[in-house]
Amino acid sequence: MASEHNIRTAPAYRRPMRTMEVRHFVAYAGLAIALIAGITLRFAYSADIEWKGDERWTFDHALAMAAGDAWNATGMPASVGGTNPGMSLWVFGALAKIFQVQSPPELARAVQCLNSAALIALVAFAFALVPRERRATWLWAAALWALNPLAIVFERKIWPPSTLPLLTVALIAAWSMRHNIIASFIWGALGALMAQIHLGVFFLVIALVGWTALQNRKSVRFGSWIAGSLAGTLPAIPWLMETARSGGTAMQGLRIPIFSFFVRWVQQPFGLGSEYALGSMDMIEFLADPVIGGVPTYLVAVAHVAIAGIVVAVFVAAMRRAIWLRLSWREAFIGRSPEAVLINASLWGYGLLMTMLTSFGAGAYRHYMIVIAPVMALWAARIVIYAAAPRERLAAILLVTICLAQAVISASLLRYIDRVQVIRGEYGATWQSQERSPVQ
Residue 249: pLDDT band (50, 70, 90) is low
What number is the average pLDDT over the span 351-361? Answer: 91
Beta-strand pair 83-85/291-292: unpaired
Q: Whole-angstrom Cα distance, residue 431 to residue 429?
A: 7
8-state DSSP, 289: P
Q: Where does residue 266 fall: left (phi above 0), alpha (psi -120 to 50 degrees), or beta otherwise?
A: alpha
Kindly provide the b/e burial profile for residues 112-139, where b requires at least 16 CB atoms within 10 angstroms of the residue's own CB.
bbbbbebbebbbebbeeebeeeeebbbb
Residue 7: pLDDT band (50, 70, 90) is very low
8-state DSSP, 346: I
Q: What is the pLDDT of residues 78-110, one digit of tens each?
A: 877 789 999 999 999 999 999 999 999 999 999
Q: How many CA atoms lie within 13 A of 203 on its CB side?
A: 20
Omega before 11 within 30 of 0, i.e. cis: no
Report pLDDT for 251.
Answer: 59
Residue 17: pLDDT band (50, 70, 90) is low
Cα 128 vs. chain centroid, distance in angstroms? 20
Whether 123 shows a pLDDT value over 90: the answer reads yes
Nearest to 74 by CA among 158, 132, 178, 160: 160
What number is the average pLDDT over the span 262-282? Answer: 97
